[in-house]
Structure 1
Amino acid sequence: MKNSSRSKETGVTLIELIIVISLLSVILTLGSINLFRPYQTATLDTATENIKSLVREAQSKAINTDTQGDPASDDYGVHFEIGRAILFKGAIYSNGDPANFEISLPSNMTANPNLPCPSPPGNCNNIVLQRISGEVVNFSSSQNSVCITENSSGKNISLSVNFVGVVNTQNGC
């Protein structure tokens, strides 16, 4: 048996250390990039569901002839602007009406309506639902959608409303 005066040295070499640090860096980078994607998708889905609910609420109020204390029932509608959607009473949206109910989209999202533009001019961003029947007033099958876009990712969802007021969603606009 040979007796060695040098004892075995244990430890890591510089090459091994560089390889481990490189692998950890790659894994952490890929992991952190993918962490934000579910948040953006969830936020877009939530905004879409909120707008669908607002249209359903307008239809429900129109069908149930909700008078809000007025002597007669009326149409209800949803008005769209870049960063918000507003439930309103009547056939024409009035900006300052205290009965309006607004939901705001997150700051990184926009709503782009493609809706009919009936007379009087200026009502091009409205879905109006007829009292009692709940059907869409001035329905047009070529102008019946709102595109909700998450600006940083470019992902978007199209909300389309059929003539009876049913809201459907699909990815892409």
Structure 2
Amino acid sequence: MAVRPILRFPDIGLKTVCEPVELFDQRLRDLSDDLLDTMRAAPGVGITAAHIGVFLRVAVIELGRNEGVRHYVNPEIVSVSDDTIRHVEGSVSMPGMTDEVIRPKAIRVRYRDLTGVVHEEETEGFLAVCIQHEIDQLDGIFWIQRLSRLKRERLVKRWEKLRK
């Protein structure tokens, strides 16, 4: 479909809480196709509609071409494990910047597919981290908010230098 422009940190849109999808129509499928094309071009493994300035609860994740594309519409975390995992995260909205984030190791997520059918699945490890990261973005929480204040301030300073 189309590669769309990505909002860059600190764009206010990245703090916007996204609205639930109510129409499961061709426009939703076109948006999802554009998200996939945009994510691959970035490159990244996950992207939300908010990253391109469309404030709907839609996320696309592709951990690898062999693993297939996952579409999450109106995703919500139902439960999380007590065990945690450390993983290096970044964002298509802040390319080149990464840091280690601690999140629950396993989650149960409920979401709809592109046709509106409800699904629920348990996942752990990297996929669980990616889903949590993208749901945070749909909730207006940019990933660096999960860092300590000191780490966040250092990362933002590096980002500002890189952009100049």
TM-score (norm 1): 0.29
Q: Hey, which of these two has a bigger chunk of helix by percent? A: 2
- Structure (1 or 2) with the larger CA radius of gyration: 1
